[in-house]
Amino acid sequence: MAGSGAAVAAVEATRPCSRELPRSSVATEILDSEDEEDKDLRSKGQEVESVQGTPTGVLCEQVVPLLRYLDRKAAKYADPHHRGSYVELVRNRTRIKVATNPKLQKAVNQLRNNKAAEAQREFEKQRERIEAELNSERAQNCILAEELVRQTRLLEQSQIARQADEELLRRLQS
């Protein structure tokens, strides 16, 4: 059945309009009728043979069973009032199970609290490291500021001494 389903899917893939996805349908329509498969196979036999060895044929053999599986799951679990993907449906049901099961809820709360405490510890560690770096930079800035004041005073003293020397030189030359 999978081989003939793949052949039908390969035939469908060669048609230009089959590549367009249905926009209003929730489930994917897959032909299951033997009569339609036989009719398509007889009329398109040569096209099917040319597609079977290609990547399209291999892809059809993998995709068609997956689509059938997902359609069965969607039909089994889907609520006609709430449209959406199967993954969202499973995620929501899992959340409901966790919320209604006290053991799971306790485990989730404990895991959340552990993660929050771990994040808080990491934050405190980062804060302490940054504070240490900041204190180190402040100490270095104080040392550099004192050095700047000392160098500025020395510069002022050397400028006063130079002016005094120039004044003395002018007096001696005159």
Q: What is the pLDDT of residues 115-126, one digit of tens each?
A: 999 999 999 999
One domain for residues 71 and 110: no
- Which DSSP string corresponds to 24-37? S-SSPP----HHHH
Domain that holds residue 23: 2-79
65-to-32, 53, 56, 116 alpha-carbon distances in Å: 12, 18, 15, 43
With beta carbons less than 8 A apart as the criterion, state whether 16 and 75 touch. no
Q: Which residues contact 19 (CB under 8 A, 6 or more apart)?
A: 13
d(CA 169, CA 53): 105
d(CA 33, CA 8): 11
pLDDT score of 99: 80
pLDDT score of 91: 84
Burial (0-12, 13-18, 19+ Cβ within 10 Å), 34: exposed
Q: Provide the angle, in degrees to the nearest 10, between the axes of the packed helices 102-173 and 86-100.
A: 100
58 against 4, higher pLDDT: 58
pLDDT score of 43: 53
One domain for residues 73 and 6: yes
Does the residue 112 lie in any domain?
yes
Does the residue 21 lie in any domain?
yes
Q: What percent of the chain has pLDDT over 70?
A: 63
d(CA 163, CA 169): 10
Does the residue 13 lie in any domain?
yes
Phi, psi of 101 (to 5 degrees): -95, 115
pLDDT score of 20: 40
Is residue 21 over pLDDT 50? no
Does the residue 50 lie in any domain?
yes
If one counts the domains in the chain, the total is 2
56 against 113, higher pLDDT: 113
One domain for residues 14 and 63: yes
- pTM exceeds cut of 0.75: no
Is residue 163 over pLDDT 60? yes
Does the residue 98 lie in any domain?
no
Is residue 1 over pLDDT 60? no
d(CA 30, CA 33): 9
Structure confidence by residue, pLDDT tens digits, 30-52 = 445 445 445 555 555 555 555 56
Q: Residue for token digits 């020397």?
A: 165
